[in-house]
Structure 1
Amino acid sequence: MDAKVMNQILEIAFEKRVSDVHFEVDNPPFFRGRGQLIRSKLPKLKPEDTEFIAKTILEANKRQLDPSLREQDASYSLPNGGRFRVSIFRQKGVIGIVMRVIPPHIGSFEELNLPVVLSEIVKAPNGLILVTGPTGNGKSTTLASMLRYLNENYSYNIITIEDPIEFLFTSSKSCIIQREVGIDTEGFGAALKAALRMDPDVIMVGEMRDPETIDACIKAAETGHLVFSTLHTQSASSTINRLIGNFPPEVQEVMRQRLADMLVAIVSLRLVKDKSGENIIPVVEVMRSTTTIQACIRDGRLDEIEKHIENGVAQYGMQTLDQHLIQLCQQKIIAVDEAKRITRSMDLERKLMFTS
């Protein structure tokens, strides 16, 4: 393996629009396309091959491969402009790499089939907007689309704190500053404190990983900024539960109050195949922080939130995951079996019959 061969493999991945590339010892490179893992016909990789790939990526990030490395995130760019988010790790004592392809174009809400209500949500003057979902289900792409909308329509100072930087922005109406953890700053907590001294209007934090970052995000919202971030949760209620559960019991009531006051919306995503099997589309739960939902958060009545989302379709543009799945099934965009694959509900078919 040399740099030329490595880049050729990545260029093929970028051109074929696969979502991920896997480099693992004793296997040829794998590509994930349309949700399926595809084994390439290239030679099997040796330990020195994956070590070379890891070294090349880290050197491009001005880092060295530490012999004690267990796992590390980074980014990588091809000469032709293709970009990747990289996860480097050890398995059975040798190095493995998974590289996520970052699309070159930041899609609009319409291009990404995202609900039009997002254009209303991002107009909030301040507060906390969260994008959630399992790994690889479009959180980063959705966040980038939100920032694109702000960049094209508002004169804001936007600061992103990412690990690593994924989508590259060019300032339009807004001024955009992008900082990468490990290169430009020590961590999310330190970068958030610094961001408040950088005259921000909008702050985007790649992920709320710990109580310190969660608290700093809420503080930034409380001081009049619009804050975006992500969590690996699957619904609005589970997101709120996860946030509050990060704190000791004696402060959870205060955190519920703060979160209720500052939360603007939670957008939860899952990706599904359309009926053709050729395209991947988002299924989106949208919760907006109405007075009723704020009361549920303050009182800890999280089990009631889904019902309030269901009832907020017409007035607030909210929707549950099941409501969106039913809509996509009725429009014959996705198959019922695909909808049943991702829903938490045991009675999706009954709901489909009731609404048809």
Structure 2
Amino acid sequence: METDWTIHQLCSLLAERGGSDLHLVGGSPPRIRVDGRLHAIPAPIVTAADCRRFLTAILTESQQRTLDSQAQVDCSISVPEVGRFRCHVYIQRGSVALAIRAIPREIPTIEALGLPPVVRQFVRKPQGLILVTGPAGSGKSTTLAALLDAMNRERAGHIVTIEDPIEFQHTHKQAMVTQREIGSDIPDIDALAKGLLRMDPDIVCLGELRDAQAIQTAMTIAETGHLTLATMHTNTAIQTLHRVILAYPPHQQAHARTQVALALEGILCQRLVPRMSGKGRVLALEILVPTPAVRNLVREDKLHQIYSMMQTGQAKHGMQTMNQALADLVKQRIVAAQHAFAASSHPDELAELLRRSGTYDTYRANLARFKTR
């Protein structure tokens, strides 16, 4: 039996509860993710018929055809007086399901996100490639929107975004902004490359680089004298470099390393970590700034040596590793040590950083007391 839910009511509920994501799967009550944790709503179970009904309110005919042929499609939802939402529609067990992500109503500033001063340098770059990376749900789209908004406020020029779907809507400020949506404004990213240069862009935002072709397209745009921004699902700056280079066939990778060494202007790799207060999450940021020494290591296929440069390049160049960012948050008592360890790819190194500051011993003592209760 169908419920009385409408998709707009459910999106409004997501916004009211301060959630980031809403999951609608037949046979389950609606589930909302708040501060990284998924909670079931005490409400009637959503049926498969409900999910099919929701589609009539959000999908165009073209998007419905894409769902029929590919078993998944992305779209956006606008709810008046509430906000915008990104929706991924997919098929599971032969039935329609939806994963909906809330998009903040206002584009946050770089300062509001807590991004360090070195990020301001990225905003002023005339050309090259800037990548914002991290796992799903780590705030990549929000950081990217903040960077674009800063460029929009401070630079005259033409900003072109290619999105699937359009998330944050940018208004014309100092710059002119053109936003194109894959599937409705342009068929795919391959078609983009053919007409993009004729649009006379200064800054190009490609959204998520999901495959080798998208990565190569981003590199080509950056090499032709445009500032190019994109996101990737990678966990570290070094992993990001590997992913970009491996997007090329083996016989082209030596040339690709040279391309990356010349075009790269910065990598921001981020995590959202629960606050010690229990209210919300805070951004932890790994930063790679391509100094001449870093560019040489990329060119010479010595990516493994870049990490040590990041460890020692904080004061002079603004670089930092994820562990350095996490350790600072623990020392400032913004993040609990156990949450920092959960977010770290190298917990032994993080333990050593905390041990040097005296924080780790306090954490272990508190943990021991907790276990004896």
Instruction: Assess same fold via TM > 0.5.
Output: yes
Q: Assess if the C-alpha contact under 8 Å between 1:3 and 1:56 holds in 2.
A: no
Aligned twin of 2:118:
117
Q: Does 1:288 align with 2:289?
A: yes
Aligned-partner Cα distance in 2 for 1:244–1:258: 9
Q: 1:274-305, CA deviations, whole angstroms, 9 ceiling, x for partnerless residues?
A: 10111111100000111111011111111111
Which amino acid is the alignment partner of residue 352 of structure 1? L
Question: What does residue range 234-249 of structure 1 map to in structure 2 within 5 Å?
Answer: 234-249=235-250
How far apart are 1:354 and its partner, in Å?
1.4
Aligned-partner Cα distance in 1 for 2:343–2:159: 34
Aligned-partner Cα distance in 2 for 1:63–1:353: 53
Q: 1:169-224, CA deviations, whole angstroms, 9 ceiling, x for partnerless residues?
A: 11111100000000000111222332211111000001222333222211211111
Aligned twin of 1:263:
264
How far apart are 1:69 and its partner, in Å?
4.9
Structure 1: runs of 5 or more not aligned: none
> Aligned with 2:146: secondary structure?
helix
How far apart are 1:14 and its partner, in Å?
1.4
Aligned-partner Cα distance in 1 for 2:311–2:138: 22
Aligned twin of 1:299:
300
Of residues 110-119 and 162-171 in structure 1, the stretch that sits farther from structure 2 once superposed is 110-119
> Aligned with 1:289: secondary structure?
coil
Which amino acid is the alignment partner of residue 64 of structure 1? Q
Q: 1:14-40, CA deviations, whole angstroms, 9 ceiling, x for partnerless residues?
A: 122210111111111111111111111
TM-score (norm 2): 0.92
Q: Does 1:6 align with 2:7?
A: yes
How far apart are 1:257 and its partner, in Å?
0.4
Aligned twin of 1:64:
64
Aligned twin of 2:54:
53
Q: 1:352 aligns with which of 348, 354, 359?
A: 354
Total equivalences in the alignment: 355
Q: Assess if the C-alpha contact under 8 Å between 1:285 and 1:318 holds in 2.
A: yes
Of residues 323-332 and 206-215 in structure 1, the stretch that sits farther from structure 2 once superposed is 206-215
Aligned twin of 2:156:
155
Q: Assess if the C-alpha contact under 8 Å between 1:69 and 1:90 holds in 2.
A: no
Which amino acid is the alignment partner of residue 230 of structure 1? T
Structure 2: runs of 5 or more not aligned: 359-373
How far apart are 1:237 and its partner, in Å?
0.7
Which amino acid is the alignment partner of residue 257 of structure 2? R
Aligned-partner Cα distance in 2 for 1:227–1:240: 16
Aligned twin of 1:86:
87
Aligned-partner Cα distance in 2 for 1:104–1:142: 14
> Aligned with 1:105: secondary structure?
coil
**Distance verdict in 2 for CA 1:162–1:319, change over 3 Å:** same
Aligned twin of 1:30:
31
**Distance verdict in 2 for CA 1:94–1:334, change over 3 Å:** same
Of residues 5-14 and 253-262 in structure 1, the stretch that sits farther from structure 2 once superposed is 5-14
TM-score (norm 1): 0.96
Aligned twin of 2:361:
none
> Aligned with 1:196: secondary structure?
helix
Question: What does residue range 267-278 of structure 1 map to in structure 2 within 5 Å?
Answer: 267-278=268-279
Aligned-partner Cα distance in 2 for 1:328–1:110: 17
Q: Assess if the C-alpha contact under 8 Å between 2:7 and 2:57 holds in 1.
A: no
Aligned twin of 1:221:
222
Q: Does 1:339 align with 2:335?
A: no
Q: Assess if the C-alpha contact under 8 Å between 1:193 and 1:216 holds in 2.
A: no
Q: Assess if the C-alpha contact under 8 Å between 1:192 and 1:217 holds in 2.
A: no
Aligned twin of 2:191:
190
Question: What does residue range 11-22 of structure 1 map to in structure 2 within 5 Å?
Answer: 11-22=12-23
Q: Assess if the C-alpha contact under 8 Å between 2:3 and 2:46 holds in 1.
A: no
Which amino acid is the alignment partner of residue 352 of structure 2? R
RMSD: 1.6
Q: Assess if the C-alpha contact under 8 Å between 2:21 and 2:102 holds in 1.
A: yes
Which amino acid is the alignment partner of residue 78 of structure 1? V
Aligned-partner Cα distance in 2 for 1:32–1:161: 27
How far apart are 1:2 and its partner, in Å?
7.9
How far apart are 1:81 and its partner, in Å?
4.7
Aligned-partner Cα distance in 2 for 1:111–1:355: 28
Which amino acid is the alignment partner of residue 349 of structure 1? A
Q: Percent identity over the alignment?
A: 36
Aligned-partner Cα distance in 1 for 2:23–2:134: 22
Q: 1:85-107, CA deviations, whole angstroms, 9 ceiling, x for partnerless residues?
A: 11111111111101000010110
Q: Assess if the C-alpha contact under 8 Å between 1:54 and 1:97 holds in 2.
A: no
